[in-house]
Structure 1
Amino acid sequence: MTLLACTSEPPAAGGGGEAASCSAQRPCAEGFDCIEGRCVEETRTPEPLTWLPTEGPEGLGLLSALLVDEERIFLGGYGSIAVSADGGSTWRESEPLARVEEFVQAGSAVFARTIDGVLSVTRDGGNGWNAPVVPLTVSSVHADGTTVYVVGFDGTGSFSFLRGSNGGLSWEAIPDLLPSHLAVGEGWLVVQAQDGRLLRSEDRGTTWEELSDPPFTSAGSDVVLQAWGEAVVALTDRPLQAFVSLDRGATWSSQVLDDASFASQRWLLPAADGLFAVTNGGAFHRLATPDGSWQEVEEGLPAGAFVEAASGGSAGAWVAYQGMLYRFDPATSAWAPGSFRAVRTTVDAVAVDGETVWALVEGKIVHRSDDGGKSWERVASPGADVLAIRSIAAGDGKVWIGTWYHGVFRSDDGGASWIALDSFPSMIGQPGVQPWGVEDLLYSEGTLYAGTWAMVSMGGDDGNFAYAGIGLARSGDFGASWTIGDGGLPSIGRDSRGETLRDGVNRIVKADGKLFLSTYGSGLFRSSDDGATWEPASSGLPGGVLDATAFLVDLVEQDGVLFAAVGVARDTASGVVESRDGGLTWRAPASVPPGACSARALARVGDHLVLSWDRFGEIEANEGIWVSSDGAGTWERLGTGQPALPADNLTATGDAILAGTERNGVWRLPTGLLE
């Protein structure tokens, strides 16, 4: 008997348009389906376009308040609260709030006071927040166990001092006393009243004993009071000085910690390993015992680290710096970074140089991606504590950052080191001294463009400050030397040296072979000679804020038509316009996505327009990312799994769209399936 082997190749479609036969035992070739015994070419459902977070740039975001206890971490920011119940591995974002000024724990309850004086509370570990806790605009909140103390004023301006029992479930007034500063111990209080008197209560505010005038009375509102065990400590500024009382405010000793301190915020952090005096200006001191001496404890942090928030308690002393948390380690007497991983960063701007992508985060930190935005690493940022970084550009293996009042810096080694470009134009005419601020940078075809900007006094008794500049600065040698292009830009006055001032520049875009320059008050301008001269290009643009012409957000060209996203006032047009004459005049496009919304970002990806869209006047107002494939004729939501928070910038790379979001890092959408 001869055994016949099965064919190793399944049948494909027959010649002459006929299909080969098939069955469960005789499958069709790849690319064909077996339907009713015949192989027919299969029809594939396109895979959906899906946005994915890139897990970067990492950081805890811009913080304004911090609480670290044994079980949870609370982060307060500019419009949000995040809570981690697993040591920082995962985070839960709360409903939006105003900027959080402080957290206070009272038993299982945690209170959050915001900048507008609203006091919120969570009693379930941060899953939900209730507000307002009391009908007051709260200026301070303190706790002793489950007893809570609140100082604030009502709608008539009348101040109140309240005591809350059982974690603030019931409240009563403490009469005849209005505290300016308050130290809360275990069952006792020391108060500096608004009239300057120092008082002590041994029964939680029922009765009071007046003490001798404290030595820090003249410090006024600059005092921070803190109970620590049986001691009371006061911290003042100019100079930074600590006062310690071992008898609950009756007598005091003092020590100057820093003669030259000019901090705007100070903290006293009680912990098991000492009391810490910390300022946002970079001063760190520790008092190991109440009767001891203060010692500097700066090791582990960069010199002059600008602390954003701080926390003390049974979990130790913690500070937030550049999107990271550091804990003081008593074993090494140094600060060490905590092992927290989070992507809560706000991405201000993105720049692309081939496969290398740069992200500016929180206005001070730079991250780099070497794989088109899939993964990120943080790089050194020059003077991140003192520089407000406003813009970034990249090209030819280099990256530039533009700052407020410190000019332009360049890195030639992937962000490992930075060079200050001292030849950048100076506000006072001295190279390297008080350079103009740079709100936007653009690198294109070997030329670096920088828009000059600063708050400049135009004279008069009130200073008469204006957003002013000297036009567009251009460099053809990577920033080594500069020329100014201001021809045709209107003058808004002269500085103290008699130099002509132009309106401040907030955006530079190159499209359709032309440069476009957006100003704060004079509108949009166009240049056809690489920025040497300018002509107005605002005709038809909607009105912006303060009755000025809307400023430019983004501008792209598609098939000879210019499309622009512009910042508008809430009661005007949508913020998307088009021009069919090279940018001289503008009009509304054929359509925009639905809703009374505004454009946050606009990009061109191949033959498609991609738009970030959100609602007016709401903190969490994201309406998503939209795409038009017919020149703004129609729009549809782009992809699934979009970021929940708004995208402030959209950038096309070789094979993807990157969306830089508010407090949610960079998201990525592969464009291979975008038809």
Structure 2
Amino acid sequence: MRWFALIGPCVAAVLTCSAAVPAAATTAEVTSATKLHWELQPSGTDARFRGLAAVNREVAWLGGSKGTVLRTVDGGRSWQDVSPPGAAELQFRDIEAFDARTAVALTIGEGEQSRIYRTSDGGRSWTESFRNTDPKAFYDCVGFFDRRHGLAMSDPVDGKVRVLSTEDGGRSWTVLPSAGMPDALPGEAGFAASGQCLVTSGPRDAWIATGGGARARVFHTSDRGRTWSVSDTPLASKPTAGVFALAFRDRRTGIAIGGDFENPNTAKDALARTGDGGRGWQVPPQAPAGYRSGATWLPHSMVGVLAVGPSGSDLSLDGGRHWRQFDAGSFDTVDCTPDLSCWAAGEKGRVARLRLG
């Protein structure tokens, strides 16, 4: 297909489109001609899923409200309830999965409501590998560099963002020293909206997104969390606004996206791009039409980016400079896999696969 390089292998190769679109087509022409859409799947629950880990085109995990964790191994045709026992009062907001058997899931909340669970048998059994005992901590997101090394982040404690580290695949966790972390702003915090307030790229780089304070900021580490730098973004910031999600194509190229969740149809100062690993952020010519809580790059694409939020989903085919809304349904989080499959999840048990045609 002549538009293959433009729209990205994720959409072109997996979703089986018969339309031929000229290589010079605009985003609007491509999305119109290909009829890009989310195909809803039956999750069997009304839980709200803000945690999503897509492993491949057959395997994905969901983490949500009411202590709910679901898993599919057949491309979403059926979902298994593999929720940890005794977790019904907890809120799973992030989940990271390595395969069909191994996953790490984070619950959020003050004090002991923030916990980390791990399974190595497809959710038949779970081990609680971390329970927060500090009443001042509130964990938001977890991310992994590889199958062994990962981080989890909490809202600031004693004036600094707190970070946990694991070197054994989430079996145990250690609070990292705060000496290498810049001071937090008054009111600054992460948003546990999509499991994308902490993201990684490669073996050592990670970024943390914040809002709530005087400025929306992004923290960056290049040594797996021992030391951090921080930069301001142009995104608006207040208690309900800031950077809700980060998505990095590599260790230099990324986007920061968010807005104000109390005004989901307004997108003023809600998107920025970086080409230097997050040291500097620029406002693109165009942004999605509303608040967006999740974003991801199309796999093996240099230019394709997806964004989702309560008021719709958007596609960019030029690295986040311009956007076209292609779906009006509500989703909180989105993820794509190396074997070219994209998934989204959100409120009222909504989970979907990306399709063309």
Q: TM-score, normalised by structure 1?
A: 0.40
**Cα separation, 2, equivalents of 1:440 and 1:383:** 21
Superposed displacement of residue 589, structure 1: 1.1
Between the two proteins, what is the percent identity of the paired residues? 21
SS at match of 2:257: strand
**Cα separation, 2, equivalents of 1:411 and 1:435:** 27
Superposed displacement of residue 369, structure 1: 0.7
The answer to whether the 8 A contact 1:517-1:525 is kept is yes
1:647 is aligned to 331
State the one-letter code of the partner of 1:410: R
State the one-letter code of the partner of 1:368: R
Q: Does 1:605 align with 2:293?
A: no
The answer to whether the 8 A contact 2:258-2:270 is kept is yes
Structure with more relative contact order (C-alpha pairs < 8 Å, separation 6 or more): 2
Q: Does 1:399 align with 2:103?
A: yes
Superposed displacement of residue 349, structure 1: 1.5
1:542 is aligned to 235
**Cα separation, 2, equivalents of 1:476 and 1:437:** 22
1:342 is aligned to none
Which has a greater percent of strand?
1
**Cα separation, 2, equivalents of 1:664 and 1:449:** 28
**Superposed CA RMSD:** 3.4
Q: Does 1:346 align with 2:48?
A: yes
Aligned pairs (5 A) from 1:653-668: 653=337, 654-663=339-348, 665-668=350-353
Superposed displacement of residue 48, structure 1: 3.8
**Cα separation, 2, equivalents of 1:409 and 1:401:** 5
SS at match of 2:76: coil
The answer to whether the 8 A contact 2:235-2:271 is kept is no
Superposed displacement of residue 475, structure 1: 0.3
Superposed displacement of residue 45, structure 1: 4.2
Which has a greater percent of helix?
2
2:10 is aligned to none
**Cα separation, 1, equivalents of 2:206 and 2:40:** 32
Q: 2:165 aligns with which of 461, 467, 474?
A: 474
**Cα separation, 2, equivalents of 1:561 and 1:626:** 19
Q: TM-score, normalised by structure 2?
A: 0.72
State the one-letter code of the partner of 1:526: H
State the one-letter code of the partner of 2:105: I
Aligned pairs (5 A) from 1:377-396: 377-395=80-98
**Cα separation, 2, equivalents of 1:447 and 1:435:** 25
State the one-letter code of the partner of 1:635: W
1:14 is aligned to none
Q: 1:421 aligns with which of 126, 129, 134?
A: 129
2:175 is aligned to 484
- Closer, same or farther in 2 for the Cα pair 1:635/1:402, shift >3 Å? closer
- Closer, same or farther in 2 for the Cα pair 1:613/1:368, shift >3 Å? closer
Q: Does 1:556 align with 2:248?
A: yes
Q: 1:366 aligns with which of 41, 59, 69?
A: 69
The answer to whether the 8 A contact 1:380-1:415 is kept is yes
The answer to whether the 8 A contact 1:568-1:598 is kept is yes
The answer to whether the 8 A contact 1:51-1:667 is kept is no
Aligned residues: 304
2:152 is aligned to 450
1:56 is aligned to 42
Aligned pairs (5 A) from 1:229-268: none
Unaligned runs of 5+ in 1: 1-43, 62-344, 428-433, 459-467, 494-501, 615-621
Residues 533-553 of structure 1 show CA distances to partners (whole Å, capped at 9, x for unaligned) of 111122x3222124x982332
Residues 406-426 of structure 1 show CA distances to partners (whole Å, capped at 9, x for unaligned) of 42111111111111115x664
SS at match of 1:663: helix
State the one-letter code of the partner of 1:647: F
Superposed displacement of residue 591, structure 1: 2.1
Residues 39-62 of structure 1 show CA distances to partners (whole Å, capped at 9, x for unaligned) of xxxxx6459445354432212x2x
**Cα separation, 1, equivalents of 2:318 and 2:211:** 32
The answer to whether the 8 A contact 1:471-1:503 is kept is no
**Cα separation, 2, equivalents of 1:517 and 1:649:** 16
The answer to whether the 8 A contact 1:647-1:660 is kept is yes
- Closer, same or farther in 2 for the Cα pair 1:469/1:560, shift >3 Å? closer
- Closer, same or farther in 2 for the Cα pair 1:378/1:469, shift >3 Å? farther
Superposed displacement of residue 609, structure 1: 1.0
- Closer, same or farther in 2 for the Cα pair 1:587/1:481, shift >3 Å? same
2:14 is aligned to none
The answer to whether the 8 A contact 1:394-1:400 is kept is yes
The answer to whether the 8 A contact 2:251-2:277 is kept is no
SS at match of 1:415: coil
State the one-letter code of the partner of 1:373: G
The answer to whether the 8 A contact 2:259-2:267 is kept is no
2:119 is aligned to 411
- Closer, same or farther in 2 for the Cα pair 1:469/1:365, shift >3 Å? farther
